[in-house]
Homo-oligomer: A and B are copies of this chain.
Amino acid sequence: MARIVMKFGGTSVANLDRIRRVAALVARQHAQGNEVAVVVSAMSGETNRLVGFVDDISDDSRLGGAIDDEYDAIVASGEQVTSGLLSIALRRQGVNARSWQGWQIPLQTDGTHASARIKDIETLAFNQSLKDGIVGVVAGFQGISPLGRVSTLGRGGSDTSAVALAVALKADRCDIYTDVDGVYTTDPRIVPEARRLNRIAFEEMLELASQGAKVLQTRSVELAMNNNLPIRVLTSFRGVDEPNPGTLVCSEETIMEERVVSGVAFSRDEAQISLLRLSDVPGVVARVCGVMADANISVDMIVQGTSRREDSANLVFTIGRRDLEKTLSALEENKGKIGFDGLLFNDKVSKVSVVGIGMRSHAGVAHTMFSALAERNINIEVIATSEIKISVLIDSDMTELAVRALNGAFDLGAK
């Protein structure tokens, strides 16, 4: 007997037939003698419908955030409906079940509406209900604020609800059901021979997730890592009796296979900025980052280099492409303050990264990576490294070529 939290996203509960299939998956776990809590998202499309109402009635302004409390009360209703429907579907299949809204558990959050953070989960009543053999079906994505209002955790928050609940309930594992059957070495749409990983370390998952391999919400992985709670990612689109091993996201120690690189991630949504002829190099990075932070823009890769003229230097950094216009005007406005003389930008760049905890102890990863790219004549604009990741910025047109080359170089294809 184990205690399991199962989470189903919007596509898994998109309509009543899918909700019935989800009920069958839950019923199977329950029939095996497990204590089961389920966390559900809104039926897909429902959150967008509700957000559309809010945007329309607030004239798209959302009144500068001054209606976030009501936004939460409205949007949280989507998960409420799904949790009720799944409870009925379970009872229809003979399984004792009941729905729980955020305020009923209660799942306490801070007072930041529309992107609240979980503060505490009271488990007394919920625990007893599980022990009584009742499946607890929790409306994900929502909680209750210190003032007793409904709060939501922001988009993707149901993953975080599920992991936080699993931690609070001391669950044995958290199974995240989604529309893919696990975590892949790279995007199978680009590299058909990409391989599903049986296991991946939390740290690797974080580096992959923040880069486009968007299977799990970053906050949920961090939470699982901090509490050493294994997460299994698997698909809800297989029958109860079909094999569905998924990918286990777990601590490094639990991973037995020797592997230097686990995956190749990429993001096309990048833009590169070069500031030329900086007058005063010491402190310039801090000034640039200050200007960007004031404009609420995240800066990613940063490289300082010396230009050919000896008395000046260049600074190169990347931002999200959607922030390009905002960035350019912020830099122009602060040209004097920062102290630069010229500006170039390139919005046709991609970031490609190899990720793997084995890198720490294995030399030669960088050499393998750069050789593979050089063989295909792919120019590298910027390089950034962390303990378990090497990222390069390249011409966007080269993205697929680079991803395939790296997948081959690190032997990440199907065996």
Instruction: Give chain A's interface residues, CB within 8 Å of chain B.
Output: 16, 19-20, 50, 53-54, 56-59, 63, 66-67, 69-71, 73-74, 77, 80-81, 83-85, 87-89, 91-92, 98-99, 101, 103-104, 148-150
Contact = CB atoms under 8 A, between A and B. Distances in A.
A53 B98 contact: no
B54 A70 contact: no
Contact of A80 (B19, B57, B73): B73
B81 A148 contact: no
A91 B73 contact: no
25 contacts: A20-B57, A50-B81, A53-B85, A54-B84, A57-B85, A57-B89, A57-B92, A58-B88, A58-B92, A63-B91, A63-B92, A66-B91, A67-B87, A67-B88, A70-B85, A70-B87, A71-B84, A73-B80, A73-B83, A73-B101, A74-B84, A77-B80, A80-B80, A101-B150, A104-B148
A292 to B, nearest CB: 32
B70 A99 contact: yes
A-B complex: 9 closest residue pairs judged by Cβ atoms? A74-B84, A77-B77, A70-B84, A73-B84, A70-B87, A67-B88, A57-B88, A70-B88, A77-B80
B19 A57 contact: yes
A74 B67 contact: no
A121 to B, nearest CB: 16
B92 A85 contact: no
- Copies held by the complex: 2
A81 to B, nearest CB: 5
A98 B69 contact: yes
A147 to B, nearest CB: 10
A11 B269 CA distance: 46
B16 A56 contact: yes
Which one of A81, A87, A99, A104 has the highest number of Cβ atoms from chain B below 10 Å of its Cβ?
Answer: A81
Given A69-B98, A73-B99, A74-B80, 11 more contacts: A16-B53, A54-B88, A57-B89, A58-B88, A63-B92, A67-B87, A70-B85, A70-B88, A70-B99, A74-B81, A77-B80
A91 B74 contact: no
Nearest to A56: B16
A50 B88 CA distance: 13
A26 to B, nearest CB: 14
A91 B77 contact: no
Contacts of A83: 73
Contacts of A84: 54, 70-71, 73-74
A22 to B, nearest CB: 11
A54 B91 contact: no
Nearest to A23: B57
A27 B52 CA distance: 24
